[in-house]
Amino acid sequence: MTPLSEYVDTIRVVYPSLVTAAALGIGGGIVGTFVLLRREALLTLAMPQVVAVGAALGMAFPWQILPPEWRTLAPALGAVIIAVLLLAWSKRQRTGNWLLPALYIGGLSLSFLIIAHSGEHVIEMQNMFTGMDVTMTPQQMAISSPILLAAGSLCALLWRRWLLFAQAPAVAEAAGRRTNRWETLFLCILAVILLMGTSSLGAVMVIAMLFLPAATALPWASRVPTALLLSMIFSLIFLVAGLILSIEFALPLSQSVGGFGFCCLVISHAAARVWK
Amino acid sequence: MAGEYSDPQPLVEVPHGAFGYAKRPVVRVDGLRLSSGRSLGLFGPNGSGKTTLVRGLMGLLAPMEGHVVRNRENLRFGYLPQHRALDHTWPMSGLDAATMAVSAQTPWGRVGRVRAQILEAMRTLGVEDLANRSFSGLSGGQQQRLLLAGAVACKPDILVLDEPTEGLDVRSRRNLLGFLRGTLAAGLCTVIISHDVQDILQACDEVAWLHPGEDIDQPSTVEMISPNDLAERVAQLRRAS
């Protein structure tokens, strides 16, 4: 058993990452609930690859005029905006379901091709995907955490809208609501979570926080607000458990959170089957 | 229910119009009127353009030919979806389901101020005790009445009902049609999309029968007839086949 003082020392060093992970857990838990209910899981897998392309561009061709914390974030934001516009167009045109797999494989390939002969950036990129050795500064935390919390809060406040568009789009249309605009807003909220989460903590952590708490919570929720609350609680439990595992057994944090969350998800679904 | 009537000013009128998508007219209609206290049935096979016609009447599709006359400012449309069309994986209570239609009317979906209105409509339809029950665990009739309570709580001028009795047992169907007749007496205009001649006979004053074009590129045409004529002609067609 690791002494408490070592926990305190570790937390003192990595607190910006932990605070951001907690904000990601809250924001991601909320948005992830709707991602699962709206059956848009593939979108969540594809978008971190888009973020990676932007980040790779930022690493290969850094804009010196930008402050250091924005040099990869700004091009990643640009890539995400282009992807959101493409997705919104694709939904409107009903172009079929080729775009998301294309973004996934295209992003995965291009991000590494852009930095192919730069050993230092290749490692940096690998860390962005795996979430290993990712460290954050308090300045980065001060940018990411409020944005993640704001995106989650906005998504939660609009829960009746997402319910309406998923269940009865014709009712919304009859009332004069523009489906495309609201679909685009949801895409933007999700893109913000994915952009801030991936660039701060890596793809493993962001995908874990989007899927696992929501999927663990949903079998036990009778209403959307209950699902959102349970999802936030589970995400914080996963983070604390992942932190304990990572300190006790010297494991990477993102994978510890993801592994613990996955076990809870399996237990939750098995228990729900027995219970119900 | 069918009968002669004179309505000095219908809510919506289509003297002549064609509606469709991407420069291809799907349905062509002449002399269609929606009036307060009257019910129009839309009858026709799948793909004949019933939804397109409804979208045209609601103003969601601009006419490709002719024009649509709206004789009142800010006409409020309500829509009752089929309870079977809902995704039951979403966790929601009976009250959440009933609240959907009202939330559509508010800019950000908030419903705090009109909750009493929804509960009142639920009481009228006898489903107030289902407010806290899981929607997916209710019978088809209970689900449909909850959705109808929400649609009515919006106080629309024109309520469009999409196959309202689909999948309901005899008692639920009778209750629902009885309620609809009551709303007509209260001055609501309803448009009922249905494949069921009995529903149209019981609930509608007039029928727009959509006949698909002979060629796939030809738009459907709309024939305005009485519910009794519809029942007679459908019976003849069944005997002939």
Using CB atoms within 10 Å of the CB of residue B120, give its burial: 0 to 12 exposed, 13 to 18 middle, 19+ buried: middle
Whether pLDDT at B63 is above 80: yes
| String of DSSP letters for chain A | ---HHHHHHHHHHHHHHHHHHHHHHHHHHHHHHHHHHTT-HHHHHHHHHHHHHHHHHHHHS--TTS-GGGTTHHHHHHHHHHHHHHHHHHHHHT--S-HHHHHHHHHHHHHHHHTTT-HHHHHHHHHHHH-TT----HHHHHHHHHHHHHHHHHHHHTHHHHHHHHH-HHHHHHTT--HHHHHHHHHHHHHHHHHHHHHHH-HHHHHHHHHHHHHHHGGG-SSHHHHHHHHHHHHHHHHHHHHHHHHHHT--HHHHHHHHHHHHHHHHHHHHHHH-
Q: What is the DSSP letter of B196?
A: -
Class of domain B10-75+157-241: alpha beta
C-alpha–C-alpha distance, residues B183 and B165, integer Å: 16
In this complex, do A170 and B104 lie within 8 Å of one another by their Cβ atoms? no
Coil, strand or helix at B107: coil
Residues in A touching B105 (Cβ below 8 Å): 175
Closest-CA residue to B21 (of B63, B77, B69):
B63
Alpha carbon separation from A46 to A92, A148, A166, A196 (Å, rounded): 19, 19, 21, 15
**Quick check: B91 and A218 CB within 8 A?**
yes
Chain B hits for A221, CB-CB cut-off 8 Å, are 91
SS3 category, B143:
helix
From the list B87, B104, B151, the residue facing A172 with the nearest CB is B104
CA-to-CA distance for A215 and A37, rounded, in angstroms? 10
| Number of residues that this document lists for chain B | 241
Mean pLDDT in residue range A227-238 = 97
Contact A224 B87 (CB under 8 A): no
Q: Which of B86, B88, B103 to mutate: most A Cβ within 10 Å?
A: B103
Compute the distance between CA of residue B155 and CA of residue B36 in angstroms, rounded to an integer: 13
Chain B residue numbers with beta carbons less than 8 Å from the beta carbon of A37 are: 87, 89-90
Whether B88 has its CB under 8 Å from any CB of chain A: the answer is no
Confidence of residue A96 (pLDDT cuts 50, 70, 90): low
Residue of A nearest to B151 (CA): A171
Q: Chain B interface, mutation test: which of A159, A171, A228, most B Cβ atoms within 10 Å?
A: A171
* Token pair in block for residue A252: 């990477």
From B89, B103, B160, residue closest to A160, measured CB to CB: B103
Which structural domains are found in chain A, ordered by start? Answer: 4-270 (1.10.3470.10)
The answer to whether B123 contacts chain A (CB < 8 Å) is no
Q: Centre a 10 Å sphere on the Cβ of residue A149 and count the other Cβ atoms it contains.
A: 16
Sheet-wide strand order for B39-43: B65-70, B12-21, B24-34, B220-225, B206-211, B39-43, B189-193, B158-162, B77-80
Considering only the beta carbons, identify the residue of A170, A222, A224 that sits closest to B81: A170
Rounded mean pLDDT, A156-160: 96
Q: How many CB atoms lie within 10 A of CB B64?
A: 17
- Residue contact B89–A168, C-beta within 8 A: no
CB contact under 8 A, B92 and A226: no
Q: Do strands B220-225 and B12-21 pair parallel, antiparallel, or not at all (unpaired)? A: unpaired
What pLDDT sits at residue B4? 45
Residue B239 three-state SS:
helix
pLDDT digits (tens, 9 = 90+) for B30-61: 999 999 999 999 999 888 889 899 989 988 88
User: Sorting pLDDT into bands at 50, 70 and 90, what band is B7?
Assistant: low
Distance (Å) of CA B218 to CA A90, B46, B48, B57, B221: 29, 15, 11, 20, 9
A127 contacts A200 by C-beta, under 8 angstroms: no
**Across the interface, do A157 and B134 touch by the CB < 8 Å criterion?**
no
- pLDDT reading at A169 higher than 80: yes
Is ipTM over 0.90? Answer: no
DSSP-derived 3-state class of residue B155: coil
Tell me how far apart the alpha carbons of residues A198 and A213 are, in angstroms, rounded to a whole number: 17
Find the Cα–Cα–Cα–Cα dihedral B96, B98, B100, B103, rounded to 10°: -100
Residue spans per domain, chain B: 10-75+157-241, 88-155
Confidence of residue A97 (pLDDT cuts 50, 70, 90): confident
Minimum distance, in Å, between the CA of residue A161 and any CA atom of chain B = 6
Which residues on A lie below 8 Å from B90 (Cβ)?
37, 163, 166-167, 224
B-chain residues within 8 Å CB-CB of A164?
Answer: 100, 103-104, 109
Residues 147-186 of B with CB under 8 A from A: 151, 154, 160, 162
B78 touches chain A (CB under 8 A): yes
Examine the pLDDT at A133 and tell me if it is beyond 70.
no
- What number of other Cβ atoms are within 10 A of residue A126's Cβ? 13
Q: Cβ–Cβ of B104/A223 closer than 8 Å? A: no
Give how far B240 is from chain A: nearest CA, Å: 37
Residue B41 in 3-state DSSP? strand
Q: Name, of A3-12, A62-71, B90-99, the range with top average pLDDT.
A: B90-99
- Rounded CA-CA distance B184/B7 in Å is 14
CB of B128 less than 8 A from some CB of A? no
User: Taking each helix axis from N to C terminus, what angle separates A119-130 and A203-217, rounded to the nearest 10 degrees?
Assistant: 10
The amino acid that residue B197 corresponds to is: V
Q: Residue B6: pLDDT band by 50, 70, 90 thresholds?
A: low
Residues 6+ apart with CB under 8 A from A177: A164, A165, B104
B141-197: per-residue pLDDT in tens?
A: 899 899 999 999 988 999 999 888 887 888 888 888 888 888 887 888 999 999 889
B93: which DSSP letter? B
**E-strand stretches of chain B:** 12-21, 24-34, 39-43, 65-70, 77-80, 158-162, 189-193, 206-211, 220-225
Distance CA B148, CA B162 (A): 11
pLDDT of residue B134: 94
Q: What is the pLDDT of residue B189?
A: 93
Q: Does B37 touch chain A (CB under 8 A)?
A: no
Q: Cβ contact (<8 Å) for A171 and B101?
A: yes
Q: Is B31 an 8 Å CB contact of chain A? A: no
Which residues on A lie below 8 Å from B164 (Cβ)?
none
